[in-house]
Amino acid sequence: MLTSPRARTFALTCAAALALIPSAADAAVRIGPDVTIPPPSNTPVVACLNACVPVAFSAPAGVELTAPSDGVITAVEYRGDFATTKLRIIKTSGSDVTFIRTGPARTATDGPIRSFAERLPIRAGERVALEAPANKASAFSLTGTTGRLVNTIPADDTTQASSPLGAFVPYVSALIEPDVDRDGYGDETQDQCPKDPTTQAPCTVAPVIVEIPGPTITQTVVTAAATPPGPVAGTPAVAKNRRSISVPVICPPSRPTPCTGTISIATASAVKVGATRVAVELGSVGFTARPGSTPTARIALSAGARALLTPGKKLAITLSLRPADGPATSRREVLRLPKKRG
Ligand SMILES: [Ca+2]
């Protein structure tokens, strides 16, 4: 062990007083002395004759290199004469040091404050140490601290005896981030999905269906009112005395109301009336029939109409039926005209 005062030009500052106080386990916590604050000038330093691991055994609260909670070490800062090192996670018992896990070989940044990124789990109560090569100082004498040395570089899962180092401790600080899903990645800078140990990428977001209340749309369907089945005119027949034409009116039984309307008969062709030829209406009559009945509508013929009926002949007529509640219909019929009696 080499111990020597080192000339310092920095202002006197107490690192312990400004060290961070451990915070709750749900946020990152930095342990160890605040290495950004230069140690007092003429602070003695320690370097090992051979490669070694300086260990902080006791230190004031806020300076000790002991994890207050489980997490992952994501960054390390230290002051020392060497850039290449390894992070060691240890436990102490009495003067023994048990080596638990080791980070990969790291090359820290140059400068008074060296740093490197890390990803190494640590459990509450475990301590942090750095491997130091031979003849390279890394331990500083800090008031109120007690350090010890493991004068070799032990493998993990071994317990080593340590030698006293007095008030010298490694000038190291480590940032511990929570690791809720225990995937070995710090939840603040290394793990974008701290609730899922199978991924460090952003969590998959399940779609959320949001129902927004709005006006109720009522569709109004307009349908035509059902047209009741209309009456149908039967075959017209001329009375033997040729004074009337009878027409059966068939009122469908499915009708909800009686059939009413008008039946009219006109000549189908123009006939000569005086000096002109016109279609002549022979007569018409109104009717009313109960649903399911077939009454006979009788159209009385005037003397003028009778004159158009030549006994024993045929006369083409247009039979028109105009229901009160439906469209009019008409059709052509041929009347057989009775012969003259006697
Ligand atoms: Ca994590």
pLDDT digit string, tens, across residues 32-84:
999 998 888 888 998 899 999 999 999 988 889 999 999 999 999 999 999 99
Q: Would you identify the CATH topology of the domain 232-336?
A: Immunoglobulin-like (2.60.40)
Q: How far is the CA of 21 from the centre of ligand 1 (A)?
A: 23
Q: How far is the CA of 125 from the centre of ligand 1 (A)?
A: 19
C-beta contacts of 324-331 below 8 A and 24+ residues apart: 324/260, 324/261, 325/227, 325/228, 325/230, 325/257, 325/260, 326/227, 326/228, 326/230, 327/230, 329/230, 329/233, 331/233
Q: How far is the CA of 177 from the centre of ligand 1 (A)?
A: 9
CB 140 within 8 A of CB 113: no
Tell me the average pLDDT across 312-341.
Answer: 90
Q: What mean pLDDT value characterizes the chain?
A: 86
CA distance 263 to 168: 129
Q: How far is the CA of 158 from the centre of ligand 1 (A)?
A: 28
**Which of the two residues, 16 and 309, has the higher pLDDT score?**
309
How does residue 183 score in pLDDT terms, banded at 50, 70 and 90? very high
Q: How far is the CA of 88 from the centre of ligand 1 (A)?
A: 20
pTM over 0.75: no
How does residue 23 score in pLDDT terms, banded at 50, 70 and 90? very low
pLDDT digit string, tens, across residues 141-151:
988 999 999 99
Please name the residues in contact with 276: beta carbons below 8 A apart, sequence gap of 6 or more.
none
Q: In this structure, what token pair is assigned to residue 229?
A: 């089945």
Q: How far is the CA of 197 from the centre of ligand 1 (A)?
A: 6
CA 273 to chain centre: 88
Q: How far is the CA of 121 from the centre of ligand 1 (A)?
A: 10
What are the DSSP E strand ranges found in 1-40? Answer: 2-5, 29-31
pLDDT digit string, tens, across residues 78-128:
999 999 999 999 999 999 999 999 999 999 999 999 999 999 999 999 999
Q: How far is the CA of 172 from the centre of ligand 1 (A)?
A: 24
How does residue 303 score in pLDDT terms, banded at 50, 70 and 90? confident
Tell me the average pLDDT across 153-160.
Answer: 97
Domain ranges of the chain: 2-177, 232-336
For the stretch 250-261, what's the b/e string if a residue is b when 16 or more beta carbons lie within 10 angstroms of its beta carbon?
bbeeebeeebbb
